[in-house]
Chains A and B, each alone.
Chain A
Amino acid sequence: MADLKQGESVPELKVTPDKYLPHRYAGASGDFNPIHIDPEFAKAVGLENNILHGLYGMAQVARANTAAAGGDPRSLKRLSVQFRAMGKPEVEITVSGTVKEEKDGTVVIDTVADQEGTQIIKNAEAEVAPQ
């Protein structure tokens, strides 16, 4: 488990969603919005290509914070995020975080998710209680 002291960084999580990940995530989540799975549709509405589901990115932020707390899914108590840019398939996502405060067994971690220098999720705040 990471050393969850104020000001310390938590281990980075790196993941590259492959070309077909948005299709698998659509099936798993039930969100079949065509901007996520149909490049032609996405281009027709002015996007560069089909985009990742924002909640897939949030799931990566949840994974990084759960892992930082030792991996038990019960340790993640709260997570709030802001979606700030559209995520791209086939580009590595890096989730990084810093411990903001630690009090009575509960740790607050400031987190961001980044792709090629663009923050796709910012101002994410996780509250974890290592089990």
Chain B
Amino acid sequence: MAADTSKIGKSYPPFEYEVGREKIREYANAIGEESDVHQDGEAARAAGFRNVVAPPMFAVVYSAGAMAPAILDPELGINLPMMLHGSQEFVWDEPVCAGDTITTEATVKDISEKDDKSFFVFESVSTNQEGQEVVRGTWTNIVRGG
């Protein structure tokens, strides 16, 4: 199957996520992150944060709702059982804290083909309620068998 490159540049509706303190704690506990700035509001404020701060990789939690409609987009036709997450990049800016509202928008950055594999590259840009960029993600999914 030839990769349909006509969808490069397609964007998806923004997804809004309200960051809760208990969700940050749950995520920090799951990844084994023990620093008290992810658990305790006073410790976080003493370190210069507005509130309990999310570990950097919490980006996957508030971005997920923006990425799902892109990956599941019937116009892209990704064969999900054959999909692998090939690579991932995040570039962080303003920290994300409990109480923030994060809006993430996903776009199709590239579609290509090599050796019977299709490569789908998505970009996500997340901003907080002040309009400050918090993270920019590049998600590369590889689909075996085209």
Q: Which residues of A contact B (CB under 8 A)?
A: 15, 21, 24-25, 27-31, 45, 54-56, 58-60, 62-63, 66, 71-74, 76-83
Give Cα A29–Cα B61 distance, bound, in whole angstroms.
Answer: 5
B89 near A: Cβ within 8 Å? Answer: yes
Give Cα A31–Cα B60 distance, bound, in whole angstroms.
Answer: 10
Pick the interface stretch among B29-37, B115-123, B124-132: B29-37
User: A76 to B92, Cβ gap below 8 A?
Assistant: yes
Contact of B87 among A45, A76, A81 (CB under 8 A): A81
User: A59 to B26, Cβ gap below 8 A?
Assistant: no
User: A58 to B86, Cβ gap below 8 A?
Assistant: no
User: A80 to B87, Cβ gap below 8 A?
Assistant: yes
User: B89 to A80, Cβ gap below 8 A?
Assistant: yes
| Additional pairs, 8, CB under 8 Å, beyond known A55-B85, A80-B87 | A28-B27, A28-B31, A28-B61, A55-B57, A55-B60, A59-B31, A59-B57, A80-B89
Q: Number of B residues contacting the other chain (C-beta, 8 Å)? A: 32
User: A76 to B29, Cβ gap below 8 A?
Assistant: no
B15 near A: Cβ within 8 Å? Answer: no
User: B29 to A29, Cβ gap below 8 A?
Assistant: no
User: A29 to B60, Cβ gap below 8 A?
Assistant: yes
Give Cα A126–Cα B86 distance, bound, in whole angstroms.
Answer: 17
User: B37 to A73, Cβ gap below 8 A?
Assistant: yes
Give Cα A38–Cα B93 distance, bound, in whole angstroms.
Answer: 36
B120 to chain A, nearest CB (A): 15
Q: Which residues of A contact B53 (CB under 8 A)?
A: 73
Q: Kindly report which residue of chain B lies nearest to residue A33, judged by CB atoms.
A: B80
Q: Kindly report which residue of chain B lies nearest to residue A78, judged by CB atoms.
A: B91
Q: Which residues of B contact A (CB under 8 A)?
A: 23, 26-27, 29-33, 35, 37-38, 47, 53-57, 60-61, 64, 81, 84-92, 95, 138
Contact of B88 among A28, A30, A76, A80 (CB under 8 A): A80
Contact of A28 among B26, B56, B81, B95 (CB under 8 A): B26
Chain A contact residues, majority secondary structure: helix
User: B30 to A45, Cβ gap below 8 A?
Assistant: no
Contact of A63 among B33, B47, B138 (CB under 8 A): B33
User: A78 to B92, Cβ gap below 8 A?
Assistant: yes
Q: Which residues of B contact A59 (CB under 8 A)?
A: 31, 33, 55, 57
User: A83 to B87, Cβ gap below 8 A?
Assistant: yes
Q: Kindly report which residue of chain B lies nearest to residue A76, judged by CB atoms.
A: B56
Q: Kindly report which residue of chain B lies nearest to residue A63, judged by CB atoms.
A: B33
Contact of A73 among B31, B88, B95 (CB under 8 A): B95
| With A28-B30, A78-B89: A83-B56 Cβ-Cβ less than 8 Å | no
